């Protein structure tokens, strides 16, 4: 695959090295030649000096034959402009832009540009760490309208049906992993201790989802205390 990355900062250079290590053809564009030092000596791709919002620069970088385009400069406006040029003038099918402003990100997604918002992702991760949340935040869809959360079934809930964890329109268990097997569950699927569930959760149901597993922890602690007595 051939990927064109605009912006050779910390994120752009790291992404370039990852894609390069996977034996993809990678071209990196940045208007600051010294930025390419971040790529290191093992980087096998190509570099182009210039701005990513210049049609001629992108054409010189081979945008017309690129499978994927990523805009990760430090400016939201530049990332969006570069992404729109890639999408509309070079007809690149896979276009991703980093957008720090969540509100702008939602608007640009309506234009057909896939966006990643470090502001939203980072805030959710920090929140989960502060709360010692019993889940892992996997991904937010449409900037927080629904979130994919992962949790592990504990002993007190072993034998329960999937339907007992779900709330219509608010919590939906999308997948269950048992050992190395992943399946899409039905409402009557029986869960076992250690099963890993992936749930799609609405913002107003996150506390309820957390409470399910908080109660698990309390019951386990109570059982341990009783055994000690």
Q: Are residues 143 and 96 in the same domain?
A: no
Q: What is the pLDDT along the chain (229 residues), one digit of tens a residue?
A: 999 999 999 999 999 999 999 899 999 999 999 999 999 999 999 999 999 999 999 999 999 999 999 999 999 999 999 999 999 999 998 999 999 988 887 777 777 788 888 887 788 777 767 766 555 555 555 545 667 788 888 888 899 999 999 999 889 998 998 988 889 999 899 999 989 888 888 877 877 887 786 533 333 233 333 333 3
**Whether residues 100 and 140 fall in one domain:** no
Pair (112, 128) in one structural domain: no
pLDDT tens sequence across 174-209: 899 898 888 999 989 999 998 988 888 887 787 788
- Let me know whether 6 and 111 are in one domain: yes
Do 147 and 209 lie in one domain? The reply is yes
Range of the domain at 95: 2-116
Do 63 and 148 reside in the same domain of the chain? no
Domain containing 188 — which CATH number? 3.30.70.1450
9-12 CB contacts, 8 Å cutoff, 24+ apart? 9/35, 9/38, 9/72, 9/73, 9/74, 10/38, 11/72, 11/98, 12/70, 12/72, 12/73
Contacts of residues 218-222 at CB distance under 8 Å and 24 or more positions apart, as own/partner, are 219/156, 220/154, 220/155, 220/156
CATH code for the domain of 12? 3.40.50.720
């Amino acid at each position: 695959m051939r990927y064109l990355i605009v912006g050779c900062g910390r994120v752009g250079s790291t992404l370039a090295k990852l894609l390069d290590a996977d034996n993809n053809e990678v071209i990196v564009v940045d208007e600051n030649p010294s930025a390419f030092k971040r790529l290191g000596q093992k980087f096998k791709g190509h570099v182009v000096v210039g701005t990513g919002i210049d049609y001629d620069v992108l054409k010189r970088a081979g945008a017309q034959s690129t499978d994927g385009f990523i805009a990760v400069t430090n400016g939201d406006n530049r990332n969006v402009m570069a992404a729109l040029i890639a999408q509309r003038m070079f007809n690149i099918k896979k276009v991703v832009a980093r957008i720090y402003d969540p509100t702008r990100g939602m608007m640009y997604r309506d234009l057909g540009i896939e966006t990643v918002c470090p502001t939203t992702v980072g805030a959710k991760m920090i929140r989960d760490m502060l709360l010692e949340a019993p889940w892992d935040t996997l991904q937010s869809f449409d900037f927080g309208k629904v979130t994919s959360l992962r949790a592990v079934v504990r002993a007190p809930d072993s034998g329960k049906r999937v339907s007992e964890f779900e709330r219509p329109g608010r919590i939906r268990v999308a997948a269950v992993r048992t050992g190395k097997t992943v399946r899409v569950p039905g409402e009557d699927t029986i869960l076992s201790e250690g099963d890993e569930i992936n749930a799609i959760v609405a913002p107003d149901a996150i506390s309820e989802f957390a409470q399910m597993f908080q109660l698990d922890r309390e019951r386990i602690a109570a059982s341990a205390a009783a055994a000690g007595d």
